[in-house]
Amino acid sequence: MGYTIQSVLIPTEQSYATVDVQLEDDRIVAIAPQLEARGVVIDGRNKLLLPGFVNAHTHSSEMWQRGVIPPVPLELWLAELYDFTPLEPEQIYLSALGTAVETLLSGGTSVVDHIVLIPGQEAETIAAAVRAYREVGIRAFVAPLIQDEPFAYGLPINGSSPAMEAQVLSTEATLDLIRDAVNQFHNPDAGISILVAPTGTHLCSDALFEGCIELSEQYQLRRHAHLLETKVQQLRAQEKYGYSAVTHLKYLGYLGPSTSLAHCVWLDEADIPILAETGSTVVHNPLSNLRLGSGLAPILKYRQAGVNVAFGCDGSASNDSQDLLEAIKIGSMLHNVTDFDYRHWISPRAAVEMASLGGATGLNLADQLGSLTVGKKADLVLYDLTHLSLLPRTDPIGLLVLGRPTQVVYYAWVNGKAVIADGAVTTVNVADLKQELWNRSQWFIEHQSPLRAAIEARYRSIMDLPL
């Protein structure tokens, strides 16, 4: 089934144009004034059409813990997350649905889910997320979060051997799990891709990274990881390798145009050209970095060095929403305070391009996604410019990024299929989803995390904080 979107506003190089846009099957087939109407006709007057954004880094199951973890830094926050993690695949399914719906309703048509696996039910976790993404119809990049070193090794160990919690899976078993997931679910044409995604150098062995590189070469998989999110991770990398984590990833061969790296807050100056030369992508998660006090990622420097940057919401327990427009707003204006030269600042149009084409580039799919181009995939979002939050009509992209738009997504297409129409999700029953989330709600007003208690003194000493 095709669509003709009539008289719709699209951005041009400097301004806007009013055109008709035609979609056929999974593609954009024509963009021109006054095309002959074919397929379903959509009135595009008072609407803005943009390429869909990529929510380039999140962890869907954190939705169950959103709003609950107190304001503490990543390492202590992670301890709380581990102690209160969802344990049923059905929860994974529901939070993946919720993440997809919130992403779609804030302009995203793709999501990279660095999904936390339930210990002992790893394969079931992946299957549950894939089921949700197939049902809702978002373009999903499912990146099972893997590690083969125990939690306590994520902090500098100073020659000691912190108590090891039981290893759930060996390096080999972990790689087998990913291979099985690829064989079962990896189908980019149908909108589901499996990624290799070691959590980061702080908790992964070289063998795990090397195994992931082999898998990604064998099956053409995209690569993902966290990179130097916190000061502690920077210290740990120095201790572990004797040099920076970026140098080590380059040495292993993990970097490249199919590699996206979340956070990148604590890189050295010398690391930046390595990301640029290898064509690796930085995924900026501004709200998470603020909430966890991780720091300000030097995004302006990355952009000046030619490093591709995309936006992510990060998981809902460190943000605590999946509003991509909010992440784009904060993530583009946050850096104005780091550089008096306003010529380096990120304009609303540049922010939109980072979120769409930048996101596509990070998945090595810029030839397929991320712009309004004839022949590209029809992953598009139509915004209602008559919504109160976008009035009066001034510069539509300026207000979309700098304002506080809510409920402005009128239509969204993924692979040419309308997954949102008239402002409502067409593929899944959102009322049922809300009821399920409500029924399974648990109130965590008072909770004590044993893991946090076990590491807090060590954390404070590493960070030179009074005990």
- Interface with Zn ion (CB under 5 A): 314
Nearer to Zn ion, 314 or 326 (CB): 314
Nearer to Zn ion, 314 or 384 (CB): 314
- Nearest distance, CB of residue 177 and Zn ion, angstroms: 19
CA distance 268 to 82: 30
Nearer to Zn ion, 113 or 314 (CB): 314
- Nearest distance, CB of residue 26 and Zn ion, angstroms: 30
CA distance 351 to 358: 9
How far is it between the farthest Cα atoms of the chain?
Answer: 72
Nearer to Zn ion, 80 or 314 (CB): 314
- Nearest distance, CB of residue 288 and Zn ion, angstroms: 7
- Nearest distance, CB of residue 60 and Zn ion, angstroms: 11
- Nearest distance, CB of residue 233 and Zn ion, angstroms: 12
CA distance 437 to 434: 5
What does 381-423 look like in DSSP terms, one character per residue?
Answer: EEEETTSGGG-S-S-HHHHHHHS---S-EEEEEETTEEEEETT
CA distance 408 to 132: 24
Nearer to Zn ion, 46 or 85 (CB): 85
Q: What are the residues facing 40 on neighbouring strands?
A: 3
Nearer to Zn ion, 91 or 316 (CB): 316
What does 130-194 look like in DSSP terms, one character per residue?
Answer: HHHHHHHT-EEEE--BB-SS-GGGGS--TT--PPPPPPSS-HHHHHHHHHHHHHHH-BGGGTEEE
- Nearest distance, CB of residue 1 and Zn ion, angstroms: 37
Radius of gyration of the chain (CA): 22
- Nearest distance, CB of residue 114 and Zn ion, angstroms: 6
Which residue type sits at 402? L
CA distance 240 to 131: 38
Nearer to Zn ion, 4 or 125 (CB): 125
